[in-house]
Structure 1
Amino acid sequence: MAYDNSDLRSTLPSSTATATAPERFSGSEHVRFRDLPPVEKTDEISTWYARGQNFVVGYSELDGTATFTRTAQPDEYVVLLADDGLGATVRAPGEEVSVTGRTMLVVPPGDSSVTVTGQGRVLRLLTTRSDDVAALAANADSYAEPHENIPPFRPWPDPVGGYRVRSYDLTVPPLANPPFRLYRCTTFMVNFIDPKQGPRDPSKLSPHKHDDFEQCSIVLAGEYVHHIRWPWTTNRANWREDEHERVLAPAVTVIPPPSLHTSEAVDPETNHLIDVFCPPRADFSAMEGWVFNADDYPAPESR
């Protein structure tokens, strides 16, 4: 992994995997919502979907009021209010929670409703156990067969005090360097980074890889180039060309293991990208103080 020495990611432990390096690799996924008609549309809301091996992203643009209802939801899911002009009320058996502004909501399994009001962008993150939502993804056909090098999904331990609606402020100060704002639950880890002005310094990129999980990068504003490189293997038939994929907001990119990758903001104005992992990342979770709600959601004992 190539990080500047001032970046705390340079202190992440190196992979300890001892398994034989893979010989086959899956490709990346780039779903450009701006080029697709919405899957669901009313006068007040337009919604698109994309997926990875374990997760589904629902991206909505709202001007008014919309209610998202889940019945017999099999596991926790996440709702992200990405803009200050939004408010939401979550109702689940025995509780009601209201929030305003940029917030991460964790909704418990079972029956629930989330009513969002205002103008802005709403993201929902569900595992592919919610097969009704997974079927709506623009790239659903790509996952008709499991992708390579990703183990079966396993949720993390139950939250302290049991399942309930939880909310987390996405405007609290981030870590210093990298400027991450990390939250997790039993199913997801979200890294909600603040928008940045101008392009990224091309002399300070951060190419790195993950051995056994996908990275979901959601571009909320601006334009990015995702640089992706796969390992060479003994069988040249399995080699893949490097990618330098340019995407404009809104878009979802799914980066497969164990590709080397980094994302470069290139818009001269505002760029905003957030990362999502399903299940949560063990390496980030092992770093003291990195996960802001670690007291609510314990890591597996093996971590």
Structure 2
Amino acid sequence: MQTHYNHAGHALGKPRLLIIGCGDVGLRIVALLRGRYRIFAVTTQRERMQTLRDAGAIPLLADLDRPATLARLAQLAPTVLHLAPPQPEGAIDRRTRHVTAILPERTTLVYVSTSGVYGDCGGALVDETRPVQPRNARAVRRVDAERSLRAWARRSGSRLAIVRVPGIYAGDRLPLERLQKGIPALAEADDVHTNHIHADDLARTVVAAMRRLQPQRIYHAVDDSDMKMADYFDAVADAHRLPRPPRLPRDQLQAQVTPAMWSFLTESRRLSNRRLKTELGVRLQYPTVADGLA
């Protein structure tokens, strides 16, 4: 049976919202919106359904890798938050294609992407108009997701916002294990600029994008910090009374880290958050990493 909405998208007295990929950030969004929205949250794990219920969402068991399980999501809500990552292999994001295949016309969708789509920018200040240049397979899939979503939005008359996100941190999302193991960081001469957002501020940014987006617009969810990566590790170490990591030149460090970590360590950019503040009106709860660690 098709759900009918009034002009504000209300059903059963509250606006309906569908969250696809309701992990840590999704739960923070639920905490911000519970009571004001009827929130449906998709999970692939039956054992997480009670956690979602306790948070204030209506859990739905579905799998983005199995399109037949998605049909029931089609008419649930006029607003969708797509927080699910692509599948771990290939050049296209099949999961995002499966999502858009079942969504009705004139949906409002916020997609959480990654700043990795820019590749290495040599430490340059980057705004949302910079062309993408992904350097690893994960970022290539994210670029594909963004492009397929833009094409879907044009076809369906839907409103799309893409939120590009750098390193997410929170009290329970810090590189403490890395520091305890003494994994080295880059020497100062070789170090890269890195960008951060507190998980609570990311949740608030996604909600702001949902409410205030300009259609087909990209936004950076990033704080005001201007840090190099090893300085971030030092700050976390100091806050938790752990030894600062040793620093190694680039050629020596590459032999000691995984290829995925090496990719992360060799991309340098500084993201502008002007649109975040002027268009979405977000006031950061944690303007810098130092504020978050405090």
TM-score under structure 1 length normalisation:
0.25
Structure with larger RCO (C-alpha < 8 A, sep 6+):
1
Q: Which one has a larger percent strand, Structure 1 or Structure 2?
A: 1
Find the structure with the greater CA-based Rg.
2
TM-score under structure 2 length normalisation:
0.25
